[in-house]
Structure 1
């Protein structure tokens, strides 16, 4: 039986860390579904507008070979709904969220993957802004 993996992220200013976590998430199953944070959700989570719009970020993520389906994540509180909606067997998140979604273990396996060292969208944006 095919295993569906679900993961979530903003994926703004797409970089190799994003690519690695998506590819590693895909390795946990047969089908990868990715929730891309809505612009409004990103503003709440990170207190800034994303550089690229939700439409652009969804297009980038959806074009990746490892991604089977992409959707707009409109609320952190809807994780359980999204897991049920897409029939996910595994939830994969970066380890900066470690423990935050353990309550989903009644629905699916929950995996927290280490982030790529020394790579962050915020640091990239600051580096670009400061020349």
Structure 2
């Protein structure tokens, strides 16, 4: 797996559903539900400014009219397309996060999920 990179397994930006920091939590929950995802990158003009998960919304109940920016994680771990799958897996295991945004020049270019990493591992076994 050492030769496989984030760029090889990431979901491309064109297929990643994002949300803005000024959107309401109700919209975030609806977008997650409709797209069957557990988390959304929070972006402004293609640049990642945070990440919000269904768990964030569920564990800290807030009125649905609260803004995403009030609940999102701001210190998001991001990596680039050349990051090895092993490093991504290590980060996921050590931190417990399930999604890692992939950036280039500060802009979101894709997303690696636990499922992406598991599929890559399965393919080399």
On whether the aligned pair clears a TM of 0.5, the verdict is: no
With structure 2 as the length reference, what TM-score do the two structures score? 0.30
The answer to which structure, 1 or 2, has the higher relative contact order (CA under 8 A, 6+ apart) is 2
After TM superposition, the score normalised by the length of structure 1 is 0.29
